[in-house]
Each structure stands twice: as structure tokens, then as C-alpha cells.
């Protein structure tokens, strides 16, 4: 998949564990024609990732799932700030190929609210996330 915008590896193994999933989401967005200009992992507590889509950004974190809003600021190592953020449906770990449809269908309504505590421990989230661990460098065309 040459020319695809993908997150760089992260030095923290706990954050790096999200890269396979985030890569799959970024690939799905780009395959559906979403104008992705940047994507990065960072920071943690909760772990998150930012997809910059022109003037908007899509932010994923392990507590709220996906949130869309006007991109105000953010960079690797600094939490992303959105104006008028709206949580999209799909839970905290929707199928990566469902995320483009979430963007099209709109928001679940209301301001972002935690769906899962990032400190939840043994709730099965890490196992579900690990299914994407080998996907960080594979092609899905």
C-alpha cells in the first residue's frame, strides 16, 4: 500500500499495542476516499490516536471510541483538542471498515462521554485489540 498515511511506531509498548488497529482504520478511511493528511498515536491514560481530515479531526481513544470535531491543536505527545466534538457510534473498538460509515452516518448525539474506563483491567479489550497487532504493516486492498 504505497502512498498510504500510517501511524509511526510508538516507543511505549502499551501505546504501540494500538497501532495495528489504528493502521486498519486509517487504511479503511483512505480506501473510502476520506482525505487523511496525518495520523499519530499518543498519548496514554487513555491511549488515543488522531486522524487529521483537513479542518476536522477524528480522535479515537480507548474510553470513548471515535470523536469527530473541528481540529484545534494536537501533535504526537500532546492531547488533541477539538472544537464541538461529537462522539460517533460503534462503541470503543468498532470494526475498522465500519468507521468510514460512521463518519457518513453522523454522530450518536451528545457530547463525548466515557463508554469504558481505560483502567478497566480484565474486560477483554486488550484481547480484542491484540487481534490487530500484526496488521500494522500489512496491506488490505
Which three-class secondary structure state does DSSP give residue 73? strand
Per-residue pLDDT of 74-123, as tens digits, reads: 999 899 999 999 889 888 899 999 999 999 886 555 444 456 556 556 67
pLDDT in tens, 60-78: 999 889 999 999 999 998 9
For residues 94 and 50, what is the distance between their CA atoms, to the nearest angstrom? 16
d(CA 54, CA 77): 20
The answer to whether 2 and 141 are in contact (CB under 8 A) is no
> CA distances (Å), 135 to each of 41, 106, 123, in order?
15, 27, 22
29 and 35 Cβ atoms separated by less than 8 Å: no
pLDDT band of residue 42 (cuts 50, 70, 90) is: confident
pTM for this one? 0.84
End-to-end CA distance of the chain: 8
Amino acid at each position: 500500500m504505497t502512498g498510504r498515511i500510517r501511524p509511526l511506531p510508538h516507543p511505549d509498548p502499551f501505546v504501540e499495542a494500538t497501532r495495528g488497529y489504528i493502521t486498519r482504520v486509517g487504511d479503511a478511511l483512505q480506501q473510502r476516499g476520506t482525505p487523511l493528511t496525518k495520523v499519530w498515536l499518543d498519548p496514554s491514560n487513555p491511549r488515543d490516536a488522531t486522524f487529521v481530515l483537513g479542518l476536522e479531526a477524528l480522535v479515537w481513544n480507548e474510553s470513548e471510541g471515535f470523536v469527530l470535531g473541528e481540529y484545534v491543536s494536537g501533535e504526537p505527545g500532546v492531547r488533541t483538542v477539538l472544537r464541538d466534538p461529537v462522539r460517533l457510534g460503534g462503541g470503543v473498538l468498532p470494526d475498522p471498515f465500519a468507521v468510514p460509515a460512521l463518519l457518513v452516518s453522523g454522530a450518536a448525539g451528545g457530547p463525548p462521554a466515557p463508554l469504558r474506563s481505560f483502567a478497566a483491567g480484565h474486560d477483554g479489550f486488550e484481547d480484542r485489540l491484540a487481534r490487530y497487532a500484526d496488521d500494522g504493516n500489512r496491506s488490505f486492498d
